[in-house]
Amino acid sequence: MQTIRQVFGFFLLLLSTAWWLSDPTDAASLTHVFAWRAVLLQYTGVLAIGVMALALVLAVRPVVFEPWLGGLDKMYRLHKWLGITALGASIAHWLLAVVPSYLVGLGWIQRQAVSTSLLRTDLPALEWLQQALRGQRGMAVVVGEWAFYLAVLMMLLALVRTFPYRYFFKVHRLLAAAFLALAWHALVLLRVDYWAGVLGLPLALLVLAGGIAAVRVLLRRVAAGRKAVGEVSAITRHEAVHTLELAIDIKGRWAGHQAGQFAFVTFHAEEGAHPFTIATPWTGDGRIGFLVKALGDYTRTLEHRLRVGSVVQVEGPYGQFTFEGARARQIWVGGGIGIAPFVARMKALAQAPDGKTIDLFHATAEYDADAIGLLERDALAAGVRLHVLWDARDGLLDARRIAAAVPQWHEADVWFCGPAAFGQALRRDLLALGLPAEQFHQELFQMR
């Protein structure tokens, strides 16, 4: 999280500073509302199109950034922050465009002429570009306004968690079309001076990259090279914990994966792809497994809709939750269905031990003796010390219980997968007890 916070803050600072250095406006000319409006329209426009462009680049799942940003889950969290920033900057831009004129109509303020220095370039070499774009300004304003309404609606729907995912993944694609319209709006209406200043090259590259990403989204070519067709070969039902254990035989090309990574799985085209942690290590035989818990409206239907032989699409792998680190001791915490990456890792360790001392804490609100028996078998084979805590019997797991069970806890890397609120509380309490922040690893398994 610290990394993406730093990237987010640095990007906004860099974009804002580049705009500031590129804008030739004389501060002495900012003597009235409409002068400030002209300048701030430009700044909010640059900010909105810049963050939208980066958000779209992240939306096509560029795995090249995963090591730098901590995995696709962190990239999607950054994508969400950028989307919220784009929403705020776009609304501010729109308000700056309409509110002053509205106030003039009410007679509350008087319209004042804006100095031509705020509107025209001081660079003769760019006058041809300004002349070429001038005739398109009216259309650019209209297109930008309607694209703004579409983009705001799509961004607001993305923030409404009750909006069904099967509709969200379809309509969210319209943001790509809105971006292309807004990019043209920005090209026509931004001061041409900016393109010759510090802002010009980075903004041009951002908009170009965002445009390419938008076209890939519209053509449904996101991660096209990372998708494989598979067939459900076995289904095991763990009734007590409302979980399906699925074995899938990959029929196409699969690059392999590390224990702890996840994939997007499309069981039914109308529902789209959902992320699931891969619960088995890669052995090269073409088979991968998933644990799917009935947590939502769609996953509750899978036990009735899936059959052996069902054809699915698997995309991935993604993620940096791969248990890497120099420390000789690790503590794993799996809450509920968050046990999946640890199951995969234990199966891998049974074949290739890494010599680390590992304690696995599995906290569950529902107890399934058969499932726990399988977990105990995997832990024994991997040489992992297992602690099972059933809420009704043992109470809730917290940082102090972990510290009491593992005296050397402060020397360990902690790997957590489970409910977000549980992870946040555990991280906060462990850090308060003295655990360095870089030793706590958590998957942010929320993709919207």
Distances (CA, A) of 96 to 22, 36, 92, 142, 333: 21, 10, 6, 15, 49
Check whether 401 has a pLDDT greater than 70.
yes
Check whether 87 has a pLDDT greater than 50.
yes
Alpha-carbon span 175 to 290, nearest angstrom:
31
Check whether 66 has a pLDDT greater than 50.
yes
Return the closest-CA partner of residue 123 out of 197, 200, 199.
197
Alpha-carbon span 413 to 247, nearest angstrom:
30
Number of Cβ atoms within 10 Å of the Cβ of 306: 17
Check: CB of residue 387 under 8 Å from CB of residue 361. yes
Mean pLDDT across 373-383: 96
Check: CB of residue 244 under 8 Å from CB of residue 236. yes
Check: CB of residue 141 under 8 Å from CB of residue 189. yes
Residue, of 134 and 228, whose pLDDT is higher: 228
Number of Cβ atoms within 10 Å of the Cβ of 131: 10
Alpha-carbon span 126 to 46, nearest angstrom:
19
Q: What's the maximum distance between 2 C-alpha atoms anywhere in the chain?
A: 80
Check whether 136 has a pLDDT greater than 80.
no
Alpha-carbon span 54 to 70, nearest angstrom:
17
The chain-wide mean pLDDT, for the chain, equals 90
Backbone φ and ψ of 385, nearest 5°? -80, 115
Note the pLDDT tens digit of each residue in 229-239.
Answer: 999 999 999 88
Q: E strands, 251-343, where?
A: 262-266, 274-277, 287-293, 311-318, 329-335
Note the pLDDT tens digit of each residue in 28-62.
Answer: 777 778 888 989 999 999 999 999 999 999 999 99
Check whether 128 has a pLDDT greater than 60.
no
Sheet holding 385-390, edge to edge: 385-390, 357-364, 329-335, 413-417, 440-442
CB under 8 Å to 88, separation ≥6 — which residues? Answer: none
Burial code of 232-265, b = ≥16 C-beta within 10 A, e = fewer? Answer: beebeebeebbbbbbbbebeeebeebbbbbbbbb
Number of Cβ atoms within 10 Å of the Cβ of 391: 13
pLDDT at 130: 57
Distances (CA, A) of 188 to 144, 149, 195, 209, 324: 10, 19, 12, 18, 48
Alpha-carbon span 407 to 7, nearest angstrom:
36
pLDDT at 408: 93
pLDDT at 219: 95
pLDDT at 119: 47
Mean pLDDT across 200-204: 94
Q: What is the DSSP string of 54-86?
A: HHHHHHT--GGGHHHHTSHHHHHHHHHHHHHHH
Note the pLDDT tens digit of each residue in 403-441.
Answer: 999 999 999 999 999 998 999 999 999 999 999 999 999
Mean pLDDT across 321-327: 92
pLDDT at 116: 47
Residue, of 163 and 16, whose pLDDT is higher: 16
Question: What are the structure tokens assigned to 421, written together?
Answer: 């609120």
Q: What is the DSSP string of 361-381?
A: EEEESS--HHHHHHHHHHHHH
Please give the angle made by the CA atoms of 109, 111 and 117, to the nearest 5 degrees: 130
Residue, of 51 and 304, whose pLDDT is higher: 51
Backbone φ and ψ of 221, nearest 5°? -110, 20
Note the pLDDT tens digit of each residue in 333-369.
Answer: 999 889 999 999 999 999 999 999 999 999 998 888 9
Note the pLDDT tens digit of each residue in 109-122.
Answer: 877 766 544 445 55
pLDDT at 415: 97
Residue reference for tokens 């497994």 = 289
pLDDT at 354: 93
Mean pLDDT across 63-84: 94
pTM of the model: 0.89
